[in-house]
Amino acid sequence: MTTRVLWLVKGLGPGGAERLLVEHAAAGDRERFTYEVAYVLDWKQHLAPELEALGVAAHCLGVTSELDPRWAGRLASQLHRGHYDVVHAHSPLVASVARLEARALHVPFVYTEHNRWPSYRAETRLANQLTFGLNDAVFAVSDDVRDSVSARYRGAVEVLVHGVDVERARSHLGERDATRAELGVAPGESLAVTVANLRTGKNYPGLIEAARLVVERGVSVRFVTAGQGQLEGEVAALQQASGLGERFALLGYRDDTTRLIAAADVFVLASHHEGLPVTVMEALTLGVPVVATAVGGLPQVVTNGESGILVPPGSPAALADAIERALDPEVHPHLVAGAQHTGDRFSSAHAVARIESTYTSLASRR
- Taking the C-alpha atoms of residue 252 and residue 354, their distance in angstroms, rounded to an integer, is 34
- Give the model's pLDDT for residue 345: 83
- On whether both 145 and 181 belong to a single domain, the answer is no
Based on the domain organization, do 183 and 329 belong to the same domain? yes
Amino acid 163: pLDDT: 83
Label residue 15 by pLDDT band (50, 70, 90).
confident
* pLDDT, average across residues 74-90: 97
Q: Are residues 149 and 271 in the same domain?
A: no
Domain count for the chain, please give it: 2
User: Region 287-303: what's the mean pLDDT?
Assistant: 95
Tell me if 275 sits within 8 A of 297, measured CB to CB.
Answer: yes
Q: How confident is the model at residue 346 (pLDDT cuts 50, 70, 90)?
A: confident
> Higher confidence at residue 345 or residue 24?
24
Nearest to 82 by CA among 36, 26, 14: 36
Residue ranges making up the domain that contains 267: 166-343
Structural contact between residues 289 and 339, judged by C-beta atoms closer than 8 angstroms: yes
The answer on 198 and 331 residing in a single domain is yes
Say if residue 141 is in the same domain as residue 245. Answer: no
Cα(256)–Cα(259) distance, rounded to whole angstroms?
A: 5
3-state secondary structure of 75: helix
Same structural domain for residues 183 and 137? no
What's the average model confidence in pLDDT over 92-105? 97
- DSSP 3-state of 37: strand
Instruction: Indicate if 129 and 221 belong to the same structural domain.
Output: no
Asked whether the predicted pLDDT for residue 75 surpasses 80, the reply is: yes
DSSP string, 88-111: EE--HHHHHHHHHHHHHTT--EEE
355 shares a domain with 309: no
Q: Is the domain of 139 the same as that of 179?
A: no
pLDDT at residue 123 is higher than 90? yes
The percent of residues in the chain predicted with pLDDT above 70, rounded, is: 100
Q: From residue 313, how far is each of 201, 223, 255, 295, 324 by CA, in Å? A: 11, 19, 28, 7, 17
Average pLDDT for residues 157-175, to the nearest whole number? 92
Residues 46 and 88 in one domain: yes
- What pLDDT score does 224 carry? 98
**Which whole number is the average pLDDT over 269-291?**
95
102 and 179 assigned to the same domain: no
Q: What are phi and psi of 13, to 5 degrees?
A: -75, -175
Verify that 111 and 174 share a domain, yes or no. no
Average pLDDT rounded to a whole number, residues 332-339: 97
CATH code for position 181:
3.40.50.2000
Could you tell me the pLDDT band of residue 353, with boundaries at 50, 70 and 90? very high
